[in-house]
Amino acid sequence: NKQVILKDYVTGFPKESDMNIVDSTITLKIPEGSNDLVLVKNLYLSCDPYMRGLMNKPQGTASPLAYSPQSAIAGCGVLKVLESGHKGYKEGDLVWGFTKWEEYSLIPAAQILFKIEHTDVPLSYYTGILGMPGMTAYAGFFEVGSPKKGENVFVSAASGAVGQLVGQFAKLHGCYVVGSAGTKEKVDLLKNKFGYDEAFNYKEEPDLNAALKRYFPEGIDIYYENVGGKTLDAVLLNMKLNGRIPVCGMISQYNLTQHEGVTNLAHLVYKRIRMQGFVVGDFYHLYAKFLEYVLPYIREGKVVYVEDIAEGLEKGPAALVGLFSGQNVGKQVLVVARE
Ligand code: NDP
């Protein structure tokens, strides 16, 4: 059973060499009488920015998901049930939920989030558009952002797993949408594939405040926050009265030992901005409603999804650390097996 192991806790930017590929000889078996464990084959694994936080040495109470040195790392994935001690699952079921980065896993049934009912779309989509990042885009934009037709929306990390969907949902909702990303290739995708009205490369803008003024002369109603730091600071100056900032993530800060200061926070008060953090896990009760919303758009080609596919567990470490230097174009998926 091939596994991706974390060598030791990580400080600063993660590196490929922080992880190892090992071959475990332990045979996975559901113990006699267990009514909880499920034996799965891991098909598609999701590379997500939050996984960086799980590599830290825990301070105080550790997240139940935190990684331990010399153990396999874990995350969301698409899994095939090989054997089930739990009565809710049977051999052959396709599901998505939390698993380990290895070929086969023995997991508690509670780690399975949903059974996969629709297989007329690529299975890998359940790591992205139809999985955790898709729900994050949907809940963050509609539930936290409370968008209205005609509003001005700005999205950072706009071509990524979450961002590419926020932009498309905002367009479908009748908003004006601008995105920022870190390469020309990504900026082209934003404009030509995801339908953003405008897009810019934040690495080529010496003055982010001026760039935002150019694209939003009347200001921003909703800022879908994925990156934090300097971008957030410049955005605050350009928010409109009663603006909303769904705070999805702040990837620019995850690897810094000293976080960058946000100097413009007082604008939350002047402009009565609602800046609200959220965690996708609070919104999974809306999953059925989300599928009803997004599946027809996928089938009609009205919502598209770009994936960056790495093949084989050996490619896992590079794919994961690549998120923090923007190597991924679209949702970073790791294929362990296709069936
Ligand atoms: P992406 O697919 O967008 O991949 C990460 C991207 O972030 C990179 O490709 C890179 O794009 C950009 N990036 C990396 N470092 C920096 C930096 N220093 N400054 C600016 N941009 C940077 O990831 P996801 O779509 O999966 O995640 C996007 C955000 O959503 C993250 O902050 C993540 O933590 C958050 N999230 C939050 C959830 C929640 O429940 N609240 C759930 C899921 C995700 P580029 O080339 O454009 O720089």
> Residue 304 burial by CB count (10 A; 0-12/13-18/19+): exposed, middle or buried?
middle
| CB distance 48 to ligand 1 below 6 Å | yes
Whether residue 272 is predicted with pLDDT greater than 90 in this model: the reply is yes
| CB distance 226 to ligand 1 below 6 Å | yes
Residue 3's Cα: distance from chain center in Å?
22
Q: Which string of b and e fits 161-195 if b means at least 16 CB within 10 Å? A: bbbbbbbbbbbebebbbbbbbbeeebbebbeebbb
- Written as one letter, the residue type at 24 is S
| pLDDT for residue 51 | 97
CA distance 59 to 140: 28
Whether residue 116 is predicted with pLDDT greater than 90 in this model: the reply is yes
CA of 225 to the centre of ligand 1 (A): 9
Tens digits of residue pLDDT in 256-267: 998 998 999 999
Q: Are 232 and 248 in contact (CB under 8 A)?
A: no
CATH of 132-281, one of 3.40.50.2300, 3.40.50.720, 3.40.190.10, 3.40.50.1100: 3.40.50.720
* pLDDT class of 64 with cuts at 50, 70, 90: confident
Q: Model ipTM? A: 0.99
CA of 210 to the centre of ligand 1 (A): 23
Whether residue 326 is predicted with pLDDT greater than 90 in this model: the reply is yes
Tens digits of residue pLDDT in 124-137: 999 999 999 999 99
Domain at 2-128+305-335, CATH homologous superfamily = Medium-chain alcohol dehydrogenases, catalytic domain (3.90.180.10)
Domain ranges (residues) in the chain: 2-128+305-335, 132-281
Q: What is the mean pLDDT of residues 207-224?
A: 98
Atom of ligand 1 nearest to the CA of 164: 25
Tens digits of residue pLDDT in 65-114: 899 999 999 999 999 999 999 999 999 999 999 999 999 999 999 999 99
Atom of ligand 1 nearest to the CA of 203: 48
Q: What is the mean pLDDT of residues 227-256?
A: 97
Beta-ladder partners of 177: 153
CA of 157 to the centre of ligand 1 (A): 5
| CB distance 181 to ligand 1 below 6 Å | yes
User: Which of 159, 162, 185 has most ligand 1 atoms within 8 Å of its beta carbon, as the pocket-test mutant?
Assistant: 162
Q: Are 12 and 255 in contact (CB under 8 A)?
A: yes
Domain pair 2-128+305-335 / 132-281, same fold:
no
| pLDDT for residue 59 | 87
CA of 189 to the centre of ligand 1 (A): 16
| CB distance 134 to ligand 1 below 6 Å | no
